[in-house]
Structure 1
């Protein structure tokens, strides 16, 4: 007579602090009343668990905190019949335990907002046993958590930050963003957060003219749009405190009438610019050999009419600093290794008083 063995089903990696159910199949004709599960730690070959579980179902629960995360175990199982005899042991199955990863959508601020219609979402990942992520995927849902779009599976080039650019978010509308990861050992995890897209929709004024072109047989439409363009300005010497004159001739030295030489003790100051009184603006600054640890630029409104913005050069990054009633807010750029004598651009984007900085090597 051929003895029937139970067959353990594969078990995905799991968090030992939460436990897991082990499932098996058994096709024998005899009535099963219990099953016995034996678990050994692979590295020491020590039996860490052996228990007979009374059930007619084909499963065996492993209690929380019985095993330890970060270890590999082997498991085998046999069933006990109503006549108190046992089947042979099943095949051995590998059990891998890992702590639950931590995922945080860093792009969403503490109030649950993002501040643009096109956002590059960043999910920050960490895991206690340094289990690497094999692929990740973002999904966007509406306020009722109905799926809007699933983005492609991506292979991370950075094991700490995963990104996806999502475009066309509607102002004032609520969404859910989810990041789903699969690790090298096929552990799966996802994290979902709610956010609201809150930004100023730029207004564009325009006049449309129509003219009937009877010779060609169509109506010609001409649209004239009104836009606001930037104005070139000169910096002022910081020792000049006359706020009644918004811009004066500067005393800085130039190279080829293009590059301004900035002394360590005399940063560029632009006072009374329109963008100091506006909510949103962008600015590009071309730089070379800015001294480390110095304030090299300040956007300063006329006295008592706004908040100045200071720009400080650090090694491989720039910080923008605002201060209001003794409270400082700092905004940091991306990290870029800048070789000596290399030109780079500082791109400043201010949206609803939030400053985004980006360094780009030229």
Structure 2
């Protein structure tokens, strides 16, 4: 028997029951679009968020926070720098205060960090990437301010300029600072229209005019060799003050990737309900087709067709219907990938049709429909010619 004969008989049957076939095709299309959207948007979110995280926090860093003694001293940072494999280490001090902004009094976070390490903290190679106007680094009482502090996020009106005085009300005193740099709205760490207000300050001035103690709230340790990350992390734990929390940026990215992957799988399982409904439709349609074509099965077997030939004909019907639905679903998903844009934090999610998403969205519905068609097809293929020909 030629391959063209199988296709001819399968297409003839599909044409005869075109109403049910059309319903199955539409069902497959919906299932493919839903699965592609779940997997594609999940993959886009994972990629975008990880890239954002890696831009904000150096991938080769270990972050140390906490400590029962109230923070970290310069001596602690010196200990971290002496650990083999550590390229550099620097402290970060933060405190909150209040400033008067366009909407009234607003909470502001003052971040004290050595200017030479500020690009690493902000996830840029050069400060010119994040400074729109003025000095590229804080100096003395001269500070850099986040975009939403010097520009009204609603109207775009300029509220502060280079050289403007800025009074920050702290718990026990007021600090009068001078704006030397205006930052762009470039990353979540610097705040956005609905984010926090940030002021970046030189540590020497911070400890002289803002903080009563020279303690850092956190330390970022840069590792020279990522292959030794676990070993260096263990050394950091050994020398860190009691109560410290040690977080590896690479491990954090890995954990987040695993979390998003699990969430993506869960969403895909929910969308797979549509595939289950389509598979039941295929099962029902094939069962009806087998019953209606019982005499035809007897004739085919009397002409020399084997049980495997009959089985293949029925399975081929399900595969052809599924293939048409999958092609249509992928075409709709491709259109959606160009049109769908979901704003999320400071980035935009799109439907990413990667090879993995395309393969899963194509093969899973095909396999489920083929399996659904196999059971009634097997029953029909097992009919004896004499019994089939006597069927009314």
Query: TM-score normalised to the size of structure 2?
Result: 0.19
Identify the structure with the greater helix proportion: 2
Identify the structure with the greater strand proportion: 1
Indicate the structure whose relative CO is greater, using CA pairs within 8 Å and at least 6 residues apart.
2
